[in-house]
Amino acid sequence: MYVRWLIPIGAGAAGVAQIAHATQYLTVEQAQRAAFPDATAFDSVRANVDPAAVGAAAGWSPRIWQARKGDKTLGWFFADAVIGKSELINYSLALDGQGAVIALEVLEYREAHGGEVRLAPWRKQFVGKTSHDPVALNQDIKNISGATLSCRHLTEGVQRLLKLREHALITQPVS
Amino acid sequence: MRRFRIHTVALAVALAPSAHADEAALKAELDALRAQVAELQAQMKQLRAAPTNVPPAAQPEAVANVAAASAAAPAPAAASATTLWGYGEMNYNHPTARAADAQADLRRAVIGFSHAFDEATHVYGELEWEHAVASADDAGETEVEQLYVEHALAPQYGVRAGLMLVPLGLLNEHHEPTQYYGVERNFVETAIIPSTWREGGVAMYGSTDSGLGWNAGIGTGPDLGKWDPAAGEGRASPLGSIHQELQLARARDPALFAALNWAGIPGLGVGGGVFAGKIGQGADFAGKDARLLLGEVHARWQTGPFDLSALYARGTISDTQALNLTFLGQPTPVPKAFWGGFAQGAWRALDWNESSLAPFVRYEQFNTGAAYAAQTLGPGTSALPTEKVWTAGINYYLNPSVVFKFDYQDFNRDDAALGYGDRFNLGIGYQF
């Protein structure tokens, strides 16, 4: 009688197997426009900073853009990656001209475990944080039970980018 | 692809006039076209590498302390397709009333791996050694704790097949020593939910944007034919004594399992799960019609320095009356019902650099023989008394991946055969 259970499960699995399986949730461009809808330009810039100064591994080089509206700097946009449990999580962070978080987006996520970091309520915890906040798991950022490693590594990634902005980009005059 | 198209166009353009030109003119023309193609390719390369601008585009300006990049910075390096991880724990238990039973044990050493065949398809495995030495003369075990292939059908759901952890409770799927308080795993999730509990089968999993995660599947189940009425193992953990761990598992009767977890509010996790199936496995014996139903609900709330959790699990096994009749006079009949629950509070009292100190207290009640099927002859088996255990101690995290543990456990009822009795415990655990 249990064989009857197998038939619909098998048929269902075969059916959904035909659906494409993109793991990308947002492109960099989509995330940029969502964070800075008024921007007229995103200028790619490179920060002169020693990775060790912000607690990053050697060779760490997040992509950075300066969001502008005409001559006015609206803020900064970063695209970086961290390891979740065993796979890369690509994410983006948008900061306003004062260095406060506008949005954290998960761009690509590759493993089933820990995928809860994609949830909007969890990511919203970062909004408004600056380099003067702890931005530490279980302190000002709440954990998701069962997704601890992804939560911790993503939180550490945001902390690094906030420090990077503080160390390397803060002298940029904001008009 | 685009490059291929340019070559094709160039070739077509080059060939068309060639029929009417002499060889030298043709060669010159080809050279000119080659140069044009090379120039186009270089331009395309520049275009691809250029910063993404929202029109109207403006050129990047050199700014103080920030170098305008001539090309986009390199993308983050890709992770290797194969990754390794691991965890381990070493424990020391010291019963206060039976010091001679004090024991130190390399409880487990685990190597885990994953390999990405492509973006959507992975294999995950965990290889485990328990009690340091495994051989014909030793008590240790070597086991494959998990081994399954996972395929994401869409970003929000996928399918797994192989030897998988049963998605019940707080601990079973997250059993690394850094993930729980206390040297030993809680009793409810060892005696009632037999962590680390795994079965072979197929499951589908997924999550919604509202934070609801689900996992449902079909697979092997326990084998009641393995029940040993002469041993105490069935009293320590009814399901732990008859689970099969995909070791030549008798698989006549598939079991079904399903779990729901909600993580829509950061810090809060609530969920539950069920596991159900026949466990006679088609064998011709008195327990052939027995059915297992195990359900659990759990909640965990992590807020600021506090970490609060609670879990309740209850299991039933039907049609055990005839089987227990054959076990008459033996110490361990099959229970009709077993249950357990705990509440736990932890407080991260100190936090410095990467280290933290978290005292905790846990209270649990559990009963592995809460009821037995009535017998037609004699008084039948009376229920076991409920065990109640207080555990208080400290998890000292040297960093989030290395933990030193100390705790004291107070049992309301001693049972030397099952290792129940007041004791203190020391432990070291790590995870990478």
Taking CA atoms, B398 is separated from A160, B106, B182, B186, in Å, by 21, 20, 15, 22
Q: Which residues in chain A (41-60) have CB-CB distances under 8 A to chain B?
A: 41-48, 59
Cα–Cα distance measured from residue A13 to residue B267, given in angstroms and rounded to the nearest whole number: 33
CA-closest candidate to residue B382, choices B396, B370, B364, B400 = B370
For an interface test with A, give the residue of B46, B47, B48, B52 to mutate (most A CBs within 10 A). B52
pLDDT at A55: 83
pLDDT tens readout for residues B400-424: 999 999 999 999 999 988 999 999 9
Query: pLDDT of A9-56, one tens digit each?
Result: 555 555 444 443 446 789 999 999 999 999 999 999 988 788 888 888
Chain-chain contact of B69 with A46 (C-beta, under 8 angstroms): yes
Q: Who among A63, A87, A173 is closest to B73 (CB)?
A: A63
pLDDT at A11: 55
How many Å apart are CA B159 and CA B149, to the nearest integer? Answer: 8
CA-based nearest distance A16→chain B, Å:
7
Residues on chain A touching B265 (C-beta within 8 angstroms): 121
Under a CB-based contact definition with an 8 Å cutoff, are residues A145 and A125 in contact?
A: no
Which residues on chain A are in Cβ contact (under 8 Å) with B160?
112
Q: In the 8-state DSSP scheme, what is residue A131?
A: T
Is A26 an interface residue toward B (CB < 8 Å)? no
Give B352-404 pLDDT, tens digit per residue. Answer: 989 999 999 999 999 999 999 998 877 788 999 999 999 999 999 999 999 99
Please tell me the least confidently modeled range out of A137-141, B179-183, B191-195.
Answer: A137-141
Are A43 and B67 a contacting pair at CB < 8 A?
no
CA distance B361 to B389: 11
Q: Return the minimum-mean-pLDDT range out of A120-124, A140-144, B76-80.
A: B76-80
DSSP letter for B129, please.
E
Question: Do B254 and A144 lie within an 8 Å CB cutoff?
Answer: no
Q: Identify the CA nearest to B334 among candidates B367, B386, B382, B372.
A: B372
For chain B, give the percent of residues with pLDDT over 90: 76
What sign does the dihedral B222-B228-B229-B231 (CA atoms) show? negative
B344/B359 Cα distance (integer angstroms): 11
Task: Of A167-171, B57-61, B94-98, B328-332, give the lowest mean pLDDT range.
Answer: B57-61
| Contact A166/B at CB under 8 A | no
Model pLDDT, residue B14: 41
Is the pLDDT confidence value at B71 over 50?
no
Residues of A in contact with B58 (CB under 8 A): 40-41, 43, 68
Q: Are A87 and B116 an interchain contact pair (Cβ–Cβ within 8 Å)?
A: yes
Q: Kindly determine whether residue A61 and residue B73, on different chains, have CB atoms separated by under 8 Å.
A: yes
Q: Report the C-alpha gap between B43 and B76 in whole angstroms.
A: 24
The kind and range of the H/E element at B36 are: helix B23-49
ipTM of the complex, rounded to two decimals: 0.79
State residue A8's pLDDT score.
56
pLDDT at B51 over 50: no
The burial class, CB within 10 Å (0-12 / 13-18 / 19+), for B273 is: buried
CB contact under 8 A, B170 and A87: no
Which residues contact residue B353 at a Cβ distance below 8 angstroms, ignoring those fewer than 6 apart? none
Note the pLDDT tens digit of each residue in B134-171: 999 999 999 999 999 999 998 889 999 999 999 999 99
Exposure string over B224-240, b if 16+ CB within 10 A, otherwise e: bbebebeeebbbbbbbb
Residue of A30, A43, A49, A82 best to disrupt the B interface, most CBs of B under 10 A:
A43
A87:B79 CB<8 A: yes
Q: Which residue, A26, A165, A160, A80, is CA-closest to B76?
A: A80
Residue B47 CB-half CA count within 13 A: 7
Chain B within 8 Å of A87 (Cβ-Cβ)?
A: yes
Partner B contacted by A27 (CB < 8 A) = no
Mutate to test the interface with B, among A19, A21, A25, A165 (most CBs of B within 10 A): A21
Radius of gyration of chain B (CA): 31
Q: Of the ranges B41-50, B228-237, B423-432, which one carries the lowest mean pLDDT score?
A: B41-50
The one-character DSSP state at B75 is: P
The CA distance from B366 to B181, in Å, is 18
Contact B335, B370 (CB under 8 A): yes
- Do residue A45 and residue B152 have CB atoms under 8 angstroms apart? no
Torsion-angle region of residue B279: left (phi > 0), alpha (psi -120 to 50) or beta? alpha
Which of B64, B263, B351 faces A172 most closely, judged by CB atoms? B64
**Model confidence at B202: pLDDT above 50:** yes
pLDDT above 70 covers a percentage of chain B that reads 82
Which residues of A are less than 8 Å from B61 in CB distance? 43
Across B107-132, average pLDDT: 95
pLDDT given at position B60:
42
How close is the nearest chain A Cα to the Cα of B108, in Å? 20
Distance separating alpha carbons of residues B250 and B57, to the nearest angstrom: 67
Name the nearest CA neighbour of B203 among B161, B149, B264, B251: B161
Name the residue among B432, B373, B427 with its Cα closest to residue B104.
B427
- Among A40, A45, A62, select the one facing B66 at the smallest CB separation: A45
Task: Please report the number of interchain residue pairs, chain A to chain B, with beta-carbon separation below 8 angstroms.
Answer: 197
- At B273 the pLDDT is 98
Residue A168: phi and psi, rounded to 5, are -110, -25
Residues of chain B found within 8 Å of residue A79, distances taken between Cβ atoms: 75-76
**Partners of residue A152 in chain B, C-beta under 8 Å:** 400
- Residue B255 CA to residue B201 CA, distance in Å, equals 9
- Give the 3-state secondary structure of residue B416: helix
Give the pLDDT confidence of A104-141 residue by residue, as tens digits.
999 998 888 888 999 999 999 999 999 999 999 999 99
Q: How far is A9 from chain B (nearest CA, A)?
A: 9
